[in-house]
Structures are given as C-alpha cells and as structure tokens.
A = this chain, B = another copy of it.
Amino acid sequence: MTITYLPEYEPEETIPTTPHHPLHHGHGLEPANSPFAGRIGGNQEFVLDRNDSKNLAVLERVPDAAPCMSMQEMFDLRGFGSVDLWKFAMLECVASMLNTFISAWVTTHPYAPMTAATGSAGVYATVTFFSPTFGGLTNLLLTPLLIYTFSPSSGGHINPLITFATFFARIISLPRAVLYVLGQTLGGALAGFALHAAYGERDITVGGCYIDTAQVPVGSGLVVEFFACLIVVWLCFGVALDPRQARVFGPAVGPWLVGVVVGVVTWGTAFTRVGYIGASVNPARCFGAYVASSFPGYHWIHWVGPLAAAAAHGLVYFVDPLWKDPKSK
C-alpha cells in the first residue's frame, strides 16, 4: 500500500497527488491524495521516498511529505508561500468549527454552582456525571468520522493538540503547524459565535472548559490537562501514526481508536473532583466556548498543557524513534 514514487512526475507549481492503488482505477480519474507523514490513521504509509531523486523537487516544497526531516527542512519558511498549505489550513478551520460546535452544544448547560453530591448514588445521578458521559460518547462517535472526512486532504488533525504533537515528533514542518493551529483556532471561534446565536445566553458552562477556581487551584487543572493530553497524544501516535502498526489497523480502524481515546479521556476526567468538569485536550474548542461566553483567567492552561505534553512526548520519540534512522545505518 505504500506509495514510493511518482513515475511520471514532472515538476509543477502544485503539490502532486499520490495515485493510491492506481491499478484499481481504470476510468481515467485518480482520487486526489496528498502525501503527508502526519496523516492521522495513515500510519505514515501515504508518504514519499526521500532517497528517490525523482521526489527531490516535491520534498523541497513539501518537506513533510516524507518522515525523517532535517531541522533545516522543518523550519524552511518557504512553506508559508504554499497555496496548498493555506487550502489545507482552511479545511482544518472547517473541521474544527464542526467539531467544536457539536461537542460544545452537547455539553452546554446554564451556569450553576457546583457542590458535592449527597445521595447514595453520589455524582453518578447528577448532571455533573451525565453531561460528560454523553459528551464523551459524542466525541467517541464523531471524532473518527471527522478524521475519515478530512484526513485525505489535510491529515485530519482538527485539534491543535495533534498539530503540536506531530510538530514535536518532527513529522510536520513549522509553516504547516502554524497555519493549521491558526485555522483550527479560527474554526473554534466561528463555532463560538454560532453557539452563542443558538443558545442565546452567555452565562453558560461548556464541558471540559470550566474550573471553579474557588474549589480547584489552577495548578491542579494544569496537571490533569497535561496528563490527559499526554495520554491522547501517546495513544493517537500508537494507533494512528506509528508505521509499525500500519498493517495492524489501517485507515479504517485507526481513527476509531483515536475516537475511543478522546471520548474516554474527556469523559473520565470530568466527574472526580468537585468544581472541575474535565480536561479540554483541545485548546481551539475551549477558545470557541469562551467566545460564546467569556474568557476566564485560566484559559492559558488549555494551551500550555497541550504544548507541554506534545514536547514531552516528542522527547521520548527522539530517544526511541519509530523509524530506523537511515543515516545511522
């Protein structure tokens, strides 16, 4: 299934499409796949061969079309001039908007002070439990479908956390990372405007984006955010980006497993401590939720947590890389 080179490649001004399974298509048309090492569910199968001289021109313009970039390639700022990267960033904006709107709507409820449950069923018979349960279920079921839809073009990141993690794992370039995060954040903001128009009130809380700072120190929120992001990143890489698992899962199963991780983590962190309603694991989504209500002082943890988790994960991948480094052979 691996695409190794494009036989009739001729240098052009657009990113070449990868003719996946060219033998199966006999009707003169080819699906438009873009080689990209950071594609979720692709397990680094949809990539070019860096050692094949035919690909050099492409890789100069799109260095993350193959794994194992050099530092110079990662930070090559000419990528900001690529029309395709801007197109993909716009798709990430749309994906983030759809994801933020539905996952926020499901978990939106009027603001109410949080107190410990007193019944014999404890928190398990309260909105504090039910709201993240159905929110987590929504994440579990919709995340894979969003990835399926967007991964052939942009790689299906949708969430700045994934873009941060692929950047620190050195499989996407800096220009792509910056443009994607900007697009995702813009998408979250657009969803926030829509959420406000749909709900009509600003005095709301959205699941995963609220801390009662009278009961929970912001530092505690940062610890949970960091660990939740670390689990999401590590398992997403394990099932949807690790080339050793490409034949174990493939692009149909990998995204479902990502949905399971995101669903379980957003649900499982949400009802343990009174005053804390769950990790965000998606800064663009809380950004959008605050556009619909108002920005709290602790919003920075939704950005610092993912960045720190992505960096920590990248460090371990540097020590134990996924690919045998061809230069060390």
> Contact residues of A with B, CB < 8 Å?
1-2, 4-5, 17, 20-21, 24-33, 47-52, 66-68, 87, 90-91, 94, 98, 101-102, 105-106, 108-110, 116-117, 119-127, 130-131, 134, 138, 141-142, 145-146, 148-150, 152-153, 191, 194, 197-200, 216-217, 219-220, 223-224, 227-228, 230-231, 234-235, 237-239, 242-253, 257, 260-261, 264-265, 268-269, 272-273, 316, 319-324, 326
Contacts and interface: CB of A to CB of B under 8 A. Distances in A.
A300 to B, nearest CB: 17
Contacts of A124: 127, 130-131, 134
Contact of A238 (B149, B194, B198): B149
A52 B162 CA distance: 43
Given A24-B2, A224-B105, A272-B106, A145 B216 contact: no
A101 B4 CA distance: 41
Contacts of A265: 102
A245 B148 contact: yes
Nearest to A276: B198
A27 B231 CA distance: 30
B121 A130 contact: yes
B102 A323 contact: no
Contact of A121 (B20, B127, B245): B127
* Number of this chain's copies in the complex: 4
Given A126-B121, A199-B220, A242 B51 contact: no
B98 A231 contact: yes
